Amino acid sequence: MKSIGLNLIILNLVNVVDLLNNDDIFKVMFNRTDLLCPEFCNGYRLVSCCMCYVQKTREKLHTLNVVHNAKTEYPTIEKPNVLNIQYQIIHRFKKTKRLPVNICNFTGLIEIDFSNNEIKSIDNISCVKSLDVLIMHINRIEYLRNDTFIGMKFLRMIDLSYNNLRHIEPGFLIHMDGSLLNFDVSNNFLTTVDVTNVLWEKQPAFCKTDFSFNEISSISNELHWTCKRNTQFGYGGMVIFSNNNFSHFPNFSEIGFKNFFLLGKLLDYGFDFRENNWICDCRIYFFAFKASLVLDKQHRDYFELSCHYPPEFKNILLIDFIKSQTLDRLICNLTIADRCPPKCRCFYQPGRSRTVVDCLGTGRRKLPSVLPLKTDLEVDFSSNEISSLLNDTGSGNIIYSYSKYISKLDLSNNTIKIIPNDLVFKLRNMNLINISKNKITKIPRTLQTLNPCQIYFGEVVIHCKCKDIWLQNWLPSFHSKCFNNTRVYCKYNNEKVHILNMSKHGFGCRLYNEDILWLNISLAVTAFIVTVSSVLIYIFRFEIFITVRKILKYFKKIVVSSNLYAYDVYISCNEDDATLRHWLTSSFVPHLEDENIRVFLPFRDCELGSPREEEIIDVMSKSLNFVIFLCENYDGSADLWVQKEWKYAWFNYRYDINREIIVINYDTLECKYIAKKYLGAFLKIHDFIDFSKKDKHIKEEVYKSLQHVQGDAFATNRNFNDLNAARSAIHMDVTYTNIDNEMANLNIKHDDSVDAT
Ligand SMILES: *[C@@H]1O[C@H](CO)[C@@H](O)[C@H](O)[C@H]1NC(C)=O
Ligand SMILES: *[C@@H]1O[C@H](CO)[C@@H](O)[C@H](O)[C@H]1NC(C)=O
Ligand SMILES: *[C@@H]1O[C@H](CO)[C@@H](O)[C@H](O)[C@H]1NC(C)=O
Ligand SMILES: *[C@@H]1O[C@H](CO)[C@@H](O)[C@H](O)[C@H]1NC(C)=O
Ligand SMILES: *[C@@H]1O[C@H](CO)[C@@H](O)[C@H](O)[C@H]1NC(C)=O
Ligand SMILES: *[C@@H]1O[C@H](CO)[C@@H](O)[C@H](O)[C@H]1NC(C)=O
Ligand SMILES: *[C@@H]1O[C@H](CO)[C@@H](O)[C@H](O)[C@H]1NC(C)=O
Ligand SMILES: *[C@@H]1O[C@H](CO)[C@@H](O)[C@H](O)[C@H]1NC(C)=O
Ligand SMILES: *[C@@H]1O[C@H](CO)[C@@H](O)[C@H](O)[C@H]1NC(C)=O
Ligand SMILES: *[C@@H]1O[C@H](CO)[C@@H](O)[C@H](O)[C@H]1NC(C)=O
Ligand SMILES: *[C@@H]1O[C@H](CO)[C@@H](O)[C@H](O)[C@H]1NC(C)=O
Ligand SMILES: *[C@@H]1O[C@H](CO)[C@@H](O)[C@H](O)[C@H]1NC(C)=O
C-alpha cells in the first residue's frame, strides 16, 4: 500500500497483536465471532491486513423489496414471504428520497445498499441494530449527527461517498464503540473535519477512514479535545485525506496535541495527505523539522507529501527537503501588511532563524520607517543612496529603534559620510555591520566599543591626524582573520599608506607632546626651586624668622598690656666685666629707669641665695624685652649664665611676638664667632647696636628698639599690683632708708609724673 504515514516513533508500543492468532483477533477486539482474518495476513501488518481483508462467515441473506406506497409516496419494505432471521436490501437507481418508513421493524437487516438514490437523511438508521454493511453511495445526504449510528455494535462498513455531506458533527468516530472498520465519506463537500472524527479512542483498530476528494482545508477541534498522557489510540488504521484542499498542517497544539511529541501515540495510524495544495513555506518547516528528527526511525511509511506552492517547489516531495538538508529553503514571504518596507523583499526563514529584509538597490534615499516585528532581522540596505544615519528624520531612525532586533545590517554602497556616535552604541548588539563602499571621511573613536570583527568598513582613506592613532590598536593585525574587514589608509605624501604601517611621525604626532614637555620642565623647575629654597630656608631659618617676625609686627599694631609682664627689660651681660657693670649701673640702667622702664639687671636684682637658673627662667618669662650684650667666650662662671640667658631669651622671643631681643655687640664680634646661631642671625641681618657708638646713641637706639607697653596700663598697674612696684619700693627702701616719708612722697610724685606723661 502506497501511503503516507506520519509515524513518529517516540512511544514504543508493544505489539500485543503478535500474541493473538488470526482467528481470535476479532473476538478479542470486537467481541465478534462472525469475522475472520484471512490466512494471507500472517505477517508484519497483521492488524491492518485483518481489518481491511476481513472475511465474514455468512449465511444466506433474504433480500427485501422496497416499494412505494401509492398513497403516501413513502417507500416501505414489503413484508417478506419467507420469515428469515437475516435480510438484506438492495435498492439501487430508484430515485427513492427517504429510508423506508418501516425499516425499524426489520431488526434482522444485515446489509443495506441504497446506492444511486436521492435519500437526504439517514437519521433513524440506528434502530437497525444488527446492521453490518450500509452502502449509501451516490445519494443526497447532507449531514451526519454524532449519534446517527449510536449503539450499532455490528456496523462494519459505512459508505457515504458521493453525497452532499457538508458537515459531520464532532465527537462521532472518537466515541465509536463497535466494530466499524471502513468509513467512507469521500467525494462530498466537507471543508473541515473535526479531530474527533479522525481519531478513534474507543475502538482498538479500523481499516480506513476515507475523507478523500472533499474540500477539506483544516482540522478543527470544536469540542476542545486534548490528548492526555494515558490516551490510547490502539492500532489505528489509514486515514485518507488525499485530494483535499490542505495547504498547511494544522497547529497541533490547537487540535489537542499540546506537546508535539504526543503525536507519537499515532504511531500506527497512516495518513494520506497526497494531492493537496501544500504550501511549502515556513509553516511546514516546523513539522518537517520535527519529522526529520525521527525520519530514520520510520520503518513502514514514507513522507511523500508533495508541494503545490510556491511554483519553484511544485511537485517536490517534502521528504526531499529533509533528505537533502535544505529545509532552510522553506520560507514565508512577508508583505507590506507584515511591515515589509515598500519595494523590499522580506521573508522569514525559520531554518536559519532569521528574517531577511532585502532592500538592495531599491533607490531609496532614506531609511524606511518600519521593519517587520521579528527578532534576528538581517537588513540589507546596500546599493541605495542613503546619505545620513542621523536620527533627525521625522519618524526617527529605524536603526535606533530596532537595534535590539537587528543581527545583521548591510549599508554598503551608499553615500554615508559620518557614523553618529550615539548610533555606534546601538550597533553593539549586532553581529555584522557592513558599511563598506561609502563615503566615510572620519572614523569616530566610539567605534572602539565594537569588536573590529563585527564591522566592515572595507577600504577607507582618511587624512590621518595624531588623534587617529587609536586605530592602530583597534584595527586587527595583519594576521587576523578580520584584517580585511576594515583597511584604513592614510593620505601621506600623496600616497596611500596602510594605517598600521604609519609611524607616529607620519601621524604628525610630536615625539613628545609640547604640553607634556612644558609640564615636565615646569615640574623640574618647581622641584629644583623647592629643594633650593628648602635648603636656604634651613640655613637662614633664624634670619628669616626674625625678619618675618619684624614684618608681621610692623603691619600688626600690637598693643601690649603691662600686666602681662613684670619687667620691661631684662639685661643679659657678662657680669665679670667690671667696666660693663659699671656702665650699666651708672649710666644705662638709670637712663632707662628714668624713662619709667622696669629693668631687671641680674647681678643687681637677683636675690641672693635663691637658685639662679630658676630665677632666670622665671624672670625672663615675665620680661618683655631682652637686651643682650654680646661678649667673647671666656672661661668664667658668669659665662654659664650668659649662655642660659641667651637660650631662654630666644625661647621666649620665639613664642611671643610681643617680645623683642636687642643685641648690643659689646665686643664687636663677627657673626661667625657667635656659637649660638640665633644670635648670630641678628648680626647677619644687621639688627644690632654697635657698642662702639657713642654712649648717647646706644641709649637712644636701645630705647627706640624696645617694645613698649601701653602707657595707661603701665601707670595704673604700677602702684597696685605690679611686682616691680614692690621691687622698686624695696630698692628705694635700700636707697633712701632714712627718709621713709620722703620716699612715700617721692613715690607719689614719681607716679604723678608718669600719669602726666
Ligand atoms: C459479547 O457478545 C455477546 C453476544 O454476542 C454478549 O452476550 C457478551 O456480553 C459480549 N461480551 C462483551 C465483553 O461485550
Ligand atoms: C411495523 O411498524 C408499525 C409501526 O410503524 C407497526 O404498526 C407494525 O405492526 C410493525 N410491523 C411488524 C411486522 O412488526
Ligand atoms: C425518525 O423517527 C422519528 C420517530 O421515531 C420520526 O418522527 C422521524 O420523522 C423519523 N425521521 C426520518 C428522517 O425518518
Ligand atoms: C455531538 O455534537 C454536539 C455538537 O454538535 C456536541 O455538543 C456533543 O457533545 C457531541 N456529542 C458527543 C457524544 O460528542
Ligand atoms: C482551497 O483553499 C483555498 C484557501 O486555502 C481557497 O482559496 C480555495 O477556494 C479552496 N478551494 C476549494 C475548492 O475549496
Ligand atoms: C499554535 O497555537 C498556539 C495557541 O493557539 C500558539 O501559541 C502557537 O504559537 C501556535 N503554533 C504555531 C506553530 O503556529
Ligand atoms: C516568495 O517570494 C519569491 C519572490 O518574491 C517567490 O519566488 C517565492 O515563491 C515566494 N515564496 C513563497 C513561499 O511565497
Ligand atoms: C552600487 O550602487 C549603485 C546604485 O546605487 C549600483 O549601480 C552599483 O552597481 C552598486 N555597486 C556595487 C558594487 O554593488
Ligand atoms: C530618534 O528620534 C526619535 C524621533 O525623532 C526619538 O523619539 C528617539 O528618541 C530618537 N532616538 C535617539 C536614540 O535619539
Ligand atoms: C559588504 O558589502 C560589500 C559591498 O556590497 C560586499 O562586497 C562584502 O562582501 C560585504 N561584506 C560582508 C561581510 O557582507
Ligand atoms: C585580505 O585580502 C587579500 C586580497 O585582497 C588577501 O590576499 C588576504 O589573504 C586577505 N587576508 C585575510 C586575512 O583574509
Ligand atoms: C606594511 O609594511 C610591510 C613591510 O614593512 C609590508 O610587507 C606590508 O605589505 C605593508 N602592508 C600594507 C597593508 O601596506
- pLDDT tens-digit readout, 314-332: 999 888 888 888 899 999 9
Residue 166, pLDDT above cutoff 90: yes
* Amino acid 635: pLDDT: 63
155 pLDDT band, cuts 50/70/90, is very high
CA distance 396 to 413: 22
Contact 410, 379 (CB under 8 A): yes
671 pLDDT band, cuts 50/70/90, is low
Residue 385, pLDDT above cutoff 90: yes
* Amino acid 1: pLDDT: 30
472 Cβ neighbours under 8 A, 6+ residues apart: 499, 500, 502
Starting at the edge strand found earlier in the chain, the sheet holding 623-630 runs 599-600, 567-572, 623-630, 660-665, 689-690
635 CB burial (10 A radius; 0-12, 13-18, 19+): exposed
How many whole angstroms from 409 Cα to the centroid of ligand 7? 22
Mean per-residue pLDDT of the chain: 83
143 pLDDT band, cuts 50/70/90, is very high
Residue 149, pLDDT above cutoff 90: yes
- Residue 431 has φ and ψ, to the nearest 5°, of -80, -30
Residues constituting the chain: 757
How open is the CA angle 260-262-264, to the nearest 5 degrees?
105
Ligand 3 pocket, 753 CB below 6 A?
no
Residue 302, pLDDT above cutoff 60: no
Ligand 8 pocket, 383 CB below 6 A?
yes
DSSP assignment of 456-479 equals E-EEEEE---GGGGHHHHHSPPTT
The conformation of residue 117, written as its DSSP 8-state character, comes to S
Ligand 7 pocket, 731 CB below 6 A?
no
* Amino acid 726: pLDDT: 43
CA distance 329 to 83: 69
Residue 670, pLDDT above cutoff 90: no
* Amino acid 711: pLDDT: 55
Residue 751, pLDDT above cutoff 60: no
Ligand 10 pocket, 172 CB below 6 A?
no
More confident of the two residues 748 and 224: 224
Q: Among 498, 499, 502, 503, name the best residue to mutate to test ligand 12's pocket (greatest count of ligand atoms within 8 A of Cβ).
A: 498
Contact 261, 231 (CB under 8 A): no
Residue 129, pLDDT above cutoff 70: yes
The residue-averaged pLDDT of 522-533 equals: 93
CA distance 422 to 182: 70
DSSP assignment of 232-283 equals --TT--EEE--SS---S---TTTTT-SSGGGGGGGTT-EEE--SS--B-SHH
- Tell me which residue has its CA closest to atom 13 in ligand 9: 400
The residue-averaged pLDDT of 217-230 equals: 93
* Amino acid 738: pLDDT: 43
Contact 575, 638 (CB under 8 A): yes
Identify which of 651, 603, 655 has the alpha carbon closest to the alpha carbon of residue 629: 603
Ligand 3 pocket, 121 CB below 6 A?
yes
Equal fold, 332-456 vs 558-709: no
- Facing residues of 550 across strands? none
Ligand 3 pocket, 618 CB below 6 A?
no
- Tell me which residue has its CA closest to atom 7 in ligand 6: 253
411 pLDDT band, cuts 50/70/90, is very high
* Amino acid 755: pLDDT: 40
Ligand 5 pocket, 215 CB below 6 A?
yes
**pLDDT by residue (tens digit) across 430-457?**
999 999 999 998 888 899 999 999 999 9
Ligand nearest to the CA of 83: 2
CA distance 350 to 714: 109
* Amino acid 710: pLDDT: 67
With a Cβ cut-off of 6 Å, ligand 9 is lined by 391, 396-397, 400, 422
The CATH topology of domain 558-709 is Rossmann fold (3.40.50)
Helix ranges (H only) for 20-94 are 24-30, 46-52
Share of the chain above pLDDT 70, in %: 87
Contact 675, 723 (CB under 8 A): no
- Tell me which residue has its CA closest to atom 3 in ligand 2: 102
- Tell me which residue has its CA closest to atom 10 in ligand 3: 124
DSSP assignment of 431-449 equals SEEE--SS------GGGGG
How many whole angstroms from 494 Cα to the centroid of ligand 11? 24
Residue 721, pLDDT above cutoff 90: no
Q: How far is CA 351 from the centre of its chain?
A: 28
How many whole angstroms from 482 Cα to the centroid of ligand 10? 13
* Amino acid 505: pLDDT: 80
With a Cβ cut-off of 6 Å, ligand 11 is lined by 481, 483-484
Ligand nearest to the CA of 248: 5
**pLDDT by residue (tens digit) across 1-32?**
333 333 333 333 334 445 456 667 888 888 88
Ligand nearest to the CA of 437: 10
How many whole angstroms from 399 Cα to the centroid of ligand 8? 22
642 pLDDT band, cuts 50/70/90, is confident
Which one-letter amino acid corresponds to residue 623? S
* Amino acid 300: pLDDT: 46
* Amino acid 351: pLDDT: 92
- Tell me which residue has its CA closest to atom 4 in ligand 3: 124
In the CATH scheme, what is the homologous superfamily, with its name and number, of domain 332-456?
Ribonuclease Inhibitor (3.80.10.10)
Ligand nearest to the CA of 127: 3
Identify which of 404, 410, 405, 409 has the alpha carbon closest to the alpha carbon of residue 425: 404
Q: Where are the beta strands (DSSP E) in 165-237?
A: 167-168, 182-184, 192-194, 208-210, 218-220
More confident of the two residues 211 and 298: 211
Number of Cα atoms under 13 Å in the Cβ half of residue 405:
17
Domain ranges for the chain: 1-54+202-210+224-329, 332-456, 514-542, 558-709
Lowest mean pLDDT among 288-292, 368-372, 713-717: 713-717
Ligand 12 pocket, 484 CB below 6 A?
no
Residue 465, pLDDT above cutoff 80: yes
Ligand 3 pocket, 126 CB below 6 A?
no
How many whole angstroms from 721 Cα to the centroid of ligand 8? 111
Q: How far is CA 422 from the centre of its chain?
A: 17
Which atom, in ligand 9's list, is nearest to the CA of 422? 13
**pLDDT by residue (tens digit) across 43-59?**
666 788 888 998 888 77
649 pLDDT band, cuts 50/70/90, is confident
Q: Tell me the three cell numbers of residue 575.
A: 657680669
- Tell me which residue has its CA closest to atom 2 in ligand 3: 124
Q: Tell me the three cell numbers of residue 685.
A: 641681618
Identify which of 314, 307, 315 has the alpha carbon closest to the alpha carbon of residue 248: 307
Residue 559, pLDDT above cutoff 80: no
The residue-averaged pLDDT of 284-301 equals: 72
The conformation of residue 350, written as its DSSP 8-state character, comes to G
- Tell me which residue has its CA closest to atom 13 in ligand 12: 498
- Tell me which residue has its CA closest to atom 12 in ligand 10: 434
Ligand 10 pocket, 457 CB below 6 A?
no
How many whole angstroms from 302 Cα to the centroid of ligand 12? 60
